[in-house]
Amino acid sequence: MPLAEPSRNAPAGTEPFVPSAGQREPRVTTIFLIGKLLSRHGETLCRIRNLSSGGLMAEAHVPIAKDDVVRIELKAGDRLPGRVRWARAGRMGVAFDMPVEVGALLARVTARTAGEKLARAPRFVADCPVELGVDGRRRSGRLVNVSQGGARLEAEFEAEKGQLMTLAIPGLPERQGSVRWMRDGALGLAFAEPLAFEELGIWLAERCRDA
């Protein structure tokens, strides 16, 4: 059951579900959950504001239109295909193709993974040159993918696990991070301060427009 278009008079973030005539109102869970939105614009970041068994309301920085086919992927790997029922001012209501079990879905999202002890943030493929500040020197590298919490890079220098460095990605604020792993000329960097939803979302949306 899709989320109905919010009332123009409702406070932001508190828009109720309004059932059609003869329908029972489902339980709607208010959340702030980050996901990956796949649409005709490619892959970008989205923030889910509420969720029911039949649909969800989310925010994104790409121009979504009514009846667009979309898919939202969550941290634990759940994929939620559906169709946009309404879109306005950066928000959308999506009706799922098939109902979901909300409790089980949220349990998977919040479950800790065995390796990292927490669910990984959505990662986005990127291919652009970057600069790394290492021990007072500027080094060149290449961005492979990025999330709010970190990045995978290719670099032609030896790094050590736990080493601190700064990462300058064109179009994004410079971030300091520590090396989590190194392998075959690649390294994983964990940001000391995560990228904000707006920062990464807008950056990804601009890359979609330029593609």
Tell me: the pLDDT tens digits for 178-189? 999 999 889 999
Whether the per-residue pLDDT at 176 is higher than 90: the answer is: yes
What the chain holds in terms of domains, given with CATH numbers, is: 29-110 (2.40.10.220), 124-210 (2.40.10.220)
pLDDT digits (tens, 9 = 90+) for 76-122: 789 999 999 999 999 999 999 999 999 888 888 776 544 444 456 88
Percent of the chain with pLDDT over 90: 64
Whether the per-residue pLDDT at 23 is higher than 80: the answer is: no
Comparing 58 with 1, the larger pLDDT belongs to 58
Q: How much is the mean pLDDT over the chain?
A: 84
pLDDT digits (tens, 9 = 90+) for 118-149: 456 889 999 999 999 998 899 999 999 999 99
CA distances from 76 to 79, 106, 204 (A): 9, 9, 21
Helix (H) or strand (E) run with residue 197 in it: helix 197-210
Comparing 12 with 57, the larger pLDDT belongs to 57
User: Residue 26's pLDDT band (boundaries 50, 70, 90)?
Assistant: low
Q: Please state which of the ranges 19-33, 57-71, 84-98 shows the lowest mean pLDDT.
A: 19-33
8 A C-beta contact, residue 49 and residue 31: yes
Whole-number pLDDT of residue 9:
44
pTM, rounded to two decimals: 0.79
E strands within the chain? 29-39, 42-51, 55-60, 69-73, 79-88, 91-96, 124-134, 137-146, 150-155, 164-168, 175-183, 186-191
> What single DSSP character describes residue 169?
-
pLDDT digits (tens, 9 = 90+) for 161-174: 999 999 999 999 99
